[in-house]
A and B are shown apart, each in its own frame.
Chain A
Amino acid sequence: MLFRPDADDLKLIGLYTGTVVYGVGVVMLVPMMVAVALGERNEALAFVIGAALAVSAGAASRLAFRTRSSLGGGQGLVTVAMIWTVVPIFGAVPLLLSGHYAGYLDAYFEATSGFATIGLTLANDLDHMARSMNVWRHLLHMLGGQGIVVVVLTIFASAGGAIGSLYTGEGEKDRILPNVVSSAQFILRVFVAYAAVGLPLLWLAVWRAGLDPAPAVFHAFTLFITAFDTAGFAPMASSAAFYRSQLVESILVVVMVAGAFSFAIHYQLWQGRRQELIRNLESRTAAISVLAVFTVMAVGLVRTGTFTSTGELFRHGFFQTLSAHTTTGLSTVPGALFVSDWGALAPAMVVIGMALGGMAGSTAGGIKAIRIGLLVKGIRRDIRRVLLPENAVVVETYHASGPRILRDEQVRGAATLLILYLLLYLGGGMLGLFYGYDLRLSLFESTAAGATGGLSVGLVRPDLETPLKVLYIVQMLVGRLEFVAMFALAGYVVSVLRGRV
């Protein structure tokens, strides 16, 4: 289907994309009501215009592409890629009208960064942005974050054995729940449960940090969304450093980890299968990876003498390790310090943390712990095959919701994604080099975009060269959707251009 779509495919893709755009338009009414309540009249008007455009386009699309066919695997992939490309077109409208962006491209960049849960920003004067507009930026995180988990655990996982394996490291049989609706319901339950605990705690912590109770509600809301959706936007330009509070940072650490945890493991825990936390290959790999990255980072920081006390080294070093590794992007230190004060080794570990990323089936991006775990298992199996007699049967097992046997297909899929991600990070870095930026800056920002990491050393700013802005948008989408969906969309577009539809 992917490379020979017919007119019915076009209808289906248009129908589902239109439905989501319609829904995004309706959600835009939430920040509009916030704007009305807070007396932010210009912003309220911006949201009315944005919502009107999205609802009109969505409704028109639903009418134009009416069909009784149901969405198949290949069509699902193209639809997902279309949704992540088209939603920011409408999400950018109120951002553009806010006056905080230099032009539509910057607003589209911001909306893509929001919807793809990246966290890189091109906003001018963020500290004076209206609250309702900041609520919208974070709602984009929430829509895209919870949305991608539903998509990965249902549409991607059911797209066929090989593709399913690429996305989840497991495959079609391992969807946590049988369909989109039940998966979405569970994901929403987990979100609500964590919000019920995390929001009040963050509110108290932000209040205790010195903010008044009313603004603290707004800050707690935005911080919770950005941490649980491993996203990266913050209401203030100085990110988490604004609060200067260890309590706020401690709560954020727990929320970030919960957000980067696979919803398949959340599901197992909620089913009472507690051993999953310790035995699961992905949670083990992630824990080892986080501690390894932090150890090397700590060595780098000690060698550079960045912090005068071990407490400060641990506080900032571990927060940045987790923020990078979970691909959240919140920061307790100004990004420029990564280059000026952190030496060479520690920032490299921030980049590696972002590149590796969180867990599959979560809002985190990057290569994902399951793929690293499967690759290590695959390497171990190959070494054993070499060492043991030729006729010995070598079977490698691992634990993921039960004992499993490692299959060649899984290792191949993990290796393919690893190579694609490395090419994505390096490719983006090359264009940065072309424009004369230092290798460290180029690779840092490119990885932040491709891995949905969102930390920045300052290269992403409003006066960034336009080709780099466009490249980072592409990297954000390709990295978020893990290649295959974007490849499917590209194949579909080529087919349309060749007149095969």
Chain B
Amino acid sequence: MSSDSGHPTDVSRQRERPVSLFRSGAIGMALLALATVGLVAAAAVIAVVVAALG
């Protein structure tokens, strides 16, 4: 589906799903926490490598 702005898809045109505090919210928060843990793990690896090389 195209839109006025030329985008193939558009957020405002997408079908909205119900936003549930306890279900969708919990999944969304868990995913973000997981992503943060991934970021921290990547940073830890960088710290070890930099310290080893330095």
Docked pose: A190 CA to B20 CA in angstroms: 11
Closest to A190 in B: B25
With A277-B32, A298-B47 already in contact, the answer to whether A405 and B42 are too (CB < 8 A) is no
For the complex, is A257 an interface residue (Cβ under 8 Å from B)? yes
Flag if B16 contacts A189 (CB, 8 Å).
no
Flag if B47 contacts A318 (CB, 8 Å).
yes
Segment 370-406 of A: residues with Cβ below 8 Å from B: 401-405
Flag if A302 contacts B11 (CB, 8 Å).
no
Flag if A310 contacts B31 (CB, 8 Å).
no
> Which of the 9-residue segments A172-180, A411-419, A459-467 touches chain B?
A172-180
Closest to A318 in B: B43
Interface of A toward B, CB cutoff 8 Å: 171, 173-176, 178, 186, 189-190, 192-194, 197, 253-254, 257-258, 261, 264, 266-267, 269-272, 274, 277, 283, 287, 290-291, 294-295, 298-299, 302-303, 310, 313-314, 317-318, 321, 401-405, 407
Flag if A186 contacts B19 (CB, 8 Å).
yes
Residues of B within 8 A of A277 (CB): 31-32, 35
Least Cβ distance of B22 to chain A in Å? 8
Least Cβ distance of A315 to chain B in Å? 9
Our pick among A264, A266, A287, A291 for the contact of B28 (Cβ within 8 Å) is: A266
Flag if B54 contacts A405 (CB, 8 Å).
no
Instruction: List 30 A-B pairs, Cβ < 8 Å.
Output: A171-B5, A173-B10, A175-B11, A175-B12, A189-B25, A190-B25, A253-B40, A254-B33, A257-B35, A257-B36, A258-B33, A258-B36, A266-B32, A269-B24, A270-B25, A272-B27, A287-B35, A287-B39, A298-B47, A298-B50, A298-B51, A299-B54, A302-B51, A314-B47, A314-B48, A401-B14, A402-B8, A404-B8, A405-B7, A407-B6
Docked pose: A267 CA to B27 CA in angstroms: 12
Residues of B within 8 A of A298 (CB): 46-47, 50-51
Our pick among A257, A270, A294, A299 for the contact of B19 (Cβ within 8 Å) is: A270
Least Cβ distance of B4 to chain A in Å? 7
Residues of A within 8 A of B54 (CB): 299, 302-303
Docked pose: A294 CA to B42 CA in angstroms: 10
The 5 closest A-B pairs by CB, nearest first: A302-B54, A269-B28, A402-B9, A314-B47, A310-B51
Flag if B12 contacts A178 (CB, 8 Å).
yes
Residues of A within 8 A of B48 (CB): 310, 314
Docked pose: A175 CA to B6 CA in angstroms: 16
Flag if A173 contacts B24 (CB, 8 Å).
no
Flag if A192 contacts B39 (CB, 8 Å).
no
Flag if B9 contacts A403 (CB, 8 Å).
yes
Docked pose: A405 CA to B8 CA in angstroms: 8
Residues of B within 8 A of A186 (CB): 19
Interface of B toward A, CB cutoff 8 Å: 3-12, 14, 16-17, 19, 21, 24-29, 31-33, 35-36, 39-40, 42-44, 46-48, 50-51, 54
Closest to B5 in A: A173
Q: Apart from A290-B39, A314-B48, what are 9 other A-B pairs with CB-CB below 8 Å?
A: A171-B5, A174-B10, A266-B28, A271-B17, A277-B31, A290-B43, A291-B39, A318-B40, A403-B8
Docked pose: A402 CA to B11 CA in angstroms: 7
Residues of A within 8 A of B40 (CB): 253, 318
Docked pose: A290 CA to B36 CA in angstroms: 11
Our pick among A171, A192, A271, A407 for the contact of B24 (Cβ within 8 Å) is: A271
Which of B3, B25, B48 counts the most A-chain CB atoms under 10 A from its CB? B25
Closest to B44 in A: A314
Closest to A313 in B: B47
Closest to A264 in B: B11
Residues of A within 8 A of B42 (CB): 291
Docked pose: A174 CA to B14 CA in angstroms: 11
Residues of B within 8 A of A174 (CB): 10-12
Closest to A290 in B: B39
Least Cβ distance of B12 to chain A in Å? 6
Which of A192, A271, A317, A407 counts the most B-chain CB atoms under 10 A from its CB? A271
Docked pose: A197 CA to B54 CA in angstroms: 39
Docked pose: A298 CA to B42 CA in angstroms: 13
Flag if A189 contacts B21 (CB, 8 Å).
yes
Flag if A261 contacts B32 (CB, 8 Å).
yes
Closest to A175 in B: B12
Residues of B within 8 A of A294 (CB): 43, 46-47
Residues of B within 8 A of A310 (CB): 47-48, 51
Flag if B14 contacts A402 (CB, 8 Å).
yes
Docked pose: A253 CA to B6 CA in angstroms: 38
Flag if A314 contacts B43 (CB, 8 Å).
yes
Least Cβ distance of A402 to chain B in Å? 4
Closest to A161 in B: B5
Flag if B3 contacts A173 (CB, 8 Å).
yes
Flag if B44 contacts A258 (CB, 8 Å).
no
With A193-B25, A271-B24 already in contact, the answer to whether A299 and B50 are too (CB < 8 A) is yes
Docked pose: A303 CA to B50 CA in angstroms: 10
Least Cβ distance of A264 to chain B in Å? 8
Residues of A within 8 A of B4 (CB): 173
Which of B3, B24, B29 counts the most A-chain CB atoms under 10 A from its CB? B29
